Amino acid sequence: MKINKLNSIILLGLVAIISILVAQLLWTKEAFTLEQKKLSQKANIALLEVARKLYEGKDHESSCQNPVQKISNDYYIVNVNNAFEPDILEFYLRAEFKKMNITTDFEYAMYNCQSDEMVYGKYISFSDKEKAKKTVSFPKHKNLVYYFAVRFPNETTYLFSSMRFWFVLSIALIFILLIYVYSIFTLLQQKKYSELQRDFINNMTHEFKTPLSSILIASKYLIEQNPIKDDKKLYTYTDIIINQSNKLNHHIEKILNIAKSDYTPLELKKETVLIVPIIEETIENILLKYPQATIKIESISNEYHLETDVFHFANLVYNLLDNAVKYCNEKPEITIQIVLENSTLKLKFIDNGIGISSKNISFIFDKFYRAQNEKSNEVNGFGLGLYYVKEICNLHNWKIKAENNLENGTTITLSIPYKK
């Protein structure tokens, strides 16, 4: 994926999540306004009913068409033009607020004509935590004689508590946005480290290949000289130089291929082939390198076929056999079992090697990982063989699993969907 395409996807995702978050916050604000209006309407109805009941049993009716005035969001005055008792007022207020399901605390006060001030203030609490009386102070209003005032001091808290769902949803969206931003930051950091690693590997292998090519050219020229051919020791040493240089060159090519596959996925040229002949040919190549090894195939049929890339499949088998031979203290004995189980073809590579500790076995397919054991200092390598095997399996959509045998050695199993 090109960096500009990746940036575009990241930006679009960020814009989408921020847009959803902004919309959610706007909806939450609108819901808060609606809840505020709803509370105001319920309070207005309740206070109108209180005013009406204060007139019940009197000889005259209210001269005020709309006795309730909303001074602010949490403050109301009710003009009754009639004397009333504080106890009766409190009883009606409690009853009507309960009927309208207004459960927030409130405080009220009455106007006293004789002292020309608001008196008898009281704080009414619906919670057990706030039973103590609080000092209540209300302003006096002109042009009104008999009236009372009501204030909801905890209106905002009450509205917030009735909107828990909206706030939880908004907090969840903010949390998701933070996770997205952190994930993108981590992704970009990993991409940066991956590019640095790939550039380092490419530069390192290039610097290795230049002097190595010179060594190989010089060594091949040197071994053809008569004085070298005549001297057995010099010929042996020169041959060792050539063999080890070829081996090093092979490792460098493997590193380059892995680094390249990380940036540009390997392209498989699949074809339908019989797998037993490919495995037999690979065994012949391994035995040229390790003539002391014993490798056999156990299969009820030689007609098993696969749709695979022959080159990469042969390399996969070669790597598994090469590992099995190298990590063995005894005479290497390897069995390749080919079994068909429930439309799954299983290739089992069973060896008699030193095995892998249980704490390390889950990491053996990681890039550059080499388990520390008694053979790790003797065996040369970069920890790329099994990583390559895993990559080829992934490209084919095959499964691979490693497990230790009961007595000794390891079994690596390839599970391949099989079509007859």
What sign has the CA pseudo-torsion 279, 284, 287, 291? positive
Q: Which of 328, 338, 349 is nearest to 411 (CA)?
A: 349
Verify that 330 and 241 share a domain, yes or no: no
Asked, for residue 172, whether it belongs to a domain, the answer is: no
Contacts of 329 (CB under 8 A, 6+ apart): 353, 354, 374, 375
> What share of the chain has pLDDT > 70, as a percent?
83
Question: What is the rounded distance in angstroms from the CA atom of residue 302 to the CA atom of residue 312?
Answer: 20
Asked, for residue 167, whether it belongs to a domain, the answer is: no
Looking only at the bridges linking them, the beta strands covering 68-72 and 75-79 are antiparallel
Predicted pLDDT at 2: 46
Last residue of one domain, picked from the residues 208, 243, 263: 263
Verify that 275 and 404 share a domain, yes or no: yes
**Domain hosting residue 71, numbered range:** 3-161
Question: What is the rounded distance in angstroms from the CA atom of residue 151 to the CA atom of residue 133?
Answer: 15
Helix (H, G, I), strand (E, B) or coil at 341: strand
Asked, for residue 365, whether it belongs to a domain, the answer is: yes
Predicted pLDDT at 375: 55
Last residue of one domain, picked from the residues 231, 263, 295: 263
Verify that 256 and 297 share a domain, yes or no: no
Q: Which of 153, 148, 166, 152 is nearest to 54 (CA)?
A: 148
Predicted pLDDT at 244: 78
Asked, for residue 179, whether it belongs to a domain, the answer is: no
Helices 232-263 and 385-396, axial angle in degrees (round to 10): 40
Verify that 11 and 128 share a domain, yes or no: yes
State the total domains in the chain: 3
Verify that 246 and 362 share a domain, yes or no: no
Asked, for residue 175, whether it belongs to a domain, the answer is: no
Verify that 42 and 130 share a domain, yes or no: yes
Verify that 201 and 122 share a domain, yes or no: no
Asked, for residue 166, whether it belongs to a domain, the answer is: no
Verify that 154 and 204 share a domain, yes or no: no
Predicted pLDDT at 194: 72
Q: Which of 73, 67, 112, 108 is nearest to 87 (CA)?
A: 108
Asked, for residue 221, whether it belongs to a domain, the answer is: yes
Predicted pLDDT at 348: 92
Verify that 211 and 309 share a domain, yes or no: no
Last residue of one domain, picked from the residues 214, 232, 263: 263
Structure tokens at 280: 């037999």
> Which residues of the chain are under the pLDDT cut of 50?
1-2, 57, 59-60, 62-63, 131-132
Structure tokens at 406: 């009961």
Question: What is the rounded distance in angstroms from the CA atom of residue 395 to the CA atom of residue 390?
Answer: 9
Verify that 33 and 84 share a domain, yes or no: yes
Q: What is the CATH number of the domain that holds 374?
A: 3.30.565.10
Asked, for residue 26, whether it belongs to a domain, the answer is: yes
| Cα–Cα distances in angstroms (integers) from residue 283 to residues 93, 276, 388, in the given order | 96, 10, 19
Verify that 150 and 202 share a domain, yes or no: no
Predicted pLDDT at 303: 86
Verify that 135 and 213 share a domain, yes or no: no
Question: What is the rounded distance in angstroms from the CA atom of residue 402 to the CA atom of residue 387?
Answer: 13
